[in-house]
Amino acid sequence: MAAMVKIWDPFVRVFHWSLVASFAVAWLSAEDARALHEWAGYAAGALIGLRLLWGVMGTRYARFRQFVRSPGAIAAYLRDIATGREARYLGHNPAGGLMILALLTTTAAVAATGWMQTTDTYFGVNWVEETHEVLANLMLGLVGLHVLGVLVASLRHRENLVRAMVTGRKRSPRGADIT
């Protein structure tokens, strides 16, 4: 058995799977269970708010500083994937970091445009309804890409990243791995 190290703290893990659950419930209840839909959407929004705080105050691998990289570093990482030379990251890899920002922003925007529809000013306003729906579909697309990225990285580095998001633990670094 390879030695393991703790990477994802309990907050990140509970946050992640709660976000997945609230998105799933909001998606499935969108058409015919309005009250449930709104609660699930607010839960997703609240989770994003907490995650932003944790990205500043949290443990090492939860911090934005640790995984938000420059466009140049992201492009270089994508080129390395194309040529099969990308390094293994103990935390989020540069492309994953960008995806996380995209997912956090889109989720916040979906929740915000959902809430707007409950206000006197924007109730029944067409562009708000449409923006809400377009953003929700965009989010579904991003989630698809996100899961694909997780599967590719899991195969390339022969480790189960989904399990790591449950247990918090990953294989200890060796060689050129980036800690």
Q: How far is the CB of 79 from ligand HEM (least distance, A)?
A: 19
Q: How far is the CB of 38 from ligand HEM (least distance, A)?
A: 4
Is 114 one of the binding residues for ligand HEM (CB under 6 A)?
A: yes
Is 109 one of the binding residues for ligand HEM (CB under 6 A)?
A: no
Is 90 one of the binding residues for ligand HEM (CB under 6 A)?
A: no
Q: Which of 70, 141 has the CB closer to ligand HEM?
A: 141
- Number of CB atoms found within 10 A of residue 146's CB: 16
Per DSSP, the three-state class of 21 is helix
Q: How far is the CB of 64 from ligand HEM (least distance, A)?
A: 9
Q: Which of 69, 88, 90, 92 binds ligand HEM (CB under 6 A)?
A: 92
Per DSSP, the three-state class of 6 is strand
Nearest to 16, CA basis, from 147, 152, 113, 159? 147
Is 30 one of the binding residues for ligand HEM (CB under 6 A)?
A: yes
Q: Which of 9, 36, 42, 138 binds ligand HEM (CB under 6 A)?
A: 42
Q: Which of 50, 81, 152, 165 binds ligand HEM (CB under 6 A)?
A: 165
Half-sphere exposure in the Cβ direction for 60 (13 Å, CA): 7
Half-sphere exposure in the Cβ direction for 4 (13 Å, CA): 13
Nearest to 25, CA basis, from 40, 11, 15? 40
Nearest to 55, CA basis, from 46, 63, 47? 63
Segment interacting with ligand HEM (CB under 6 A) among 31-39, 71-79, 80-88, 171-179: 31-39
Say how far apart CA 163 and CA 80 lie, in whole Å: 25
CA torsion 76→81→85→88, rounded to 10°? 90
Residues near ligand HEM, by CB under 6 A: 12, 15-16, 19-20, 23, 26-27, 30-31, 37-38, 41-42, 44-45, 51, 62, 92, 96, 100, 103-104, 107, 110-111, 114-115, 117-118, 129, 132-133, 136, 139, 143, 146-147, 150, 161-162, 165
